[in-house]
Amino acid sequence: MARKRVVVTGLGCVSPLGLNVERTWQAVLNGQSGIGQITHFDTTDFKTTFAAEVKGFDADEALGKRLSRRMDRFTQFSLESTRQALEEAGLNVDDSNRDRIGVIIGTGIGGVGTLTSEQENFSERGPRWVSPHMVPMMLPDTAPGYTAIVYGMRGPNMAVATACASSANAIGEATEMIRRGAADAIIAGGAEAAIIPVALAGFNVMNALSTRNEAPQGASRPFDLDRDGFVMGEGAASLLLESYEHAVERDAPVLAEVLGYSATNDAFHISAPAEGGAGAAICMQNALEDAGLRPSQIDYINAHGTSTMLNDVSETKAVKTIFGDQAYNTPISSTKSMTGHLLGAAGALESLFCVKVIQQDVLPPTMNYTTPDPECDLDYVPNHARTAEVSYAMTNSFGFGGHNACLIFGAV
């Protein structure tokens, strides 16, 4: 039996650049930064004092006080981005379809904010004072679980945890489920809310974070020679995926098609990419084969582009391995230069950007690109958005543990 076509019919997000898709996308095209000094806690003793926080999000208003207070921040973000995606898609869940609608959400860390705050509560006041909601609030599968409860979705439901590849894998695995007929529609995406003291300290001692405390908006500078680490971000993005037949039958807005997906592992190092980007290259090649496309047909790549020394070089090498001379003619940008790195939610937000690129034929820039790196010598769409005809867009996501995920979207 031929596999089903999978299309995107709804988008939603909560990001450091805005609380919905329109505001986030316009900020990206304008080259705006969502990075600033951390307000969640006192950073006096930290090497890094800034991050890309979500600003102005009122969970009580968005979800209702009773519900929101039983959720970690990452789940709150996820529910709001899902609401937006369902609204755009015009999908109503009822007894006629609920068993065929699923939820797959990726998160690298889950409810770590709840876990650490309750650990402090336990240490200061004792075991009887730990919240009875702690365990469900901290579990990674709470986001898809609550989504199912709120909307009555009884189809496939799971969390994906592959570090910074989590939400790209969530979208890819959701695609595979729809392709094989296990569901008609799936909310797929990612959520993260890990800007907390212990996580910041952990990344700092690994020397993974930028320390440009005096100029935080210029700190995330992917592929630039003077990059010195990534910037932590938080937020969520959701895509409603449907089989093409299901979307057409209900006259849904078809925004793009998911054409290719691949997941591989470097099997090399727990936190460093494989030399020469070997694992990433295999992942891109597999995604192209899954989509039935040649490298020359890809019009745009949204890079993982973390602004770390190793990642940006290895990704550039991987692109050259697969694209050959065409690599120099394929525009690439890293929107993390504006959003920061949303960790497990990054792949979903960057997939959303690929859909918008295809819809509007405009490429987001890589901001803060001022000093070329001889090892990173491709077209990174520096500092200004650019118009271009885009039929096919690729996005890469790579995570600790050696995880690689690649998705390819196409116009319909």
Instruction: List the catalytic residues.
Output: 164, 304, 341
Distance of CA 217 to the CA centre of its chain: 20
- Identify the helix (H) or strand (E) that includes residue 300: strand 300-302
Give the SS3 label for residue 20.
coil
Cα 19 to Cα 41, 63, 146, 168, 238: the distances in Å are 21, 14, 20, 21, 13
Amino acid at position 139, single letter: L
- Which residue has 């797929």 as its token pair? 188
All residues at 6 or more sequence positions from 112 whose CB lies less than 8 Å from its CB, including other chains? 138, 194, 196, 198, 199
- Which residue has 């440009």 as its token pair? 212
**Assigned token pair, 97:** 């379809």
First to last CA, the chain: 22
Beta-strand pair 392-399/403-410: antiparallel
- Identify the helix (H) or strand (E) that includes residue 138: helix 134-138
Angle between helices 21-29 and 346-360 (to 10 degrees): 70
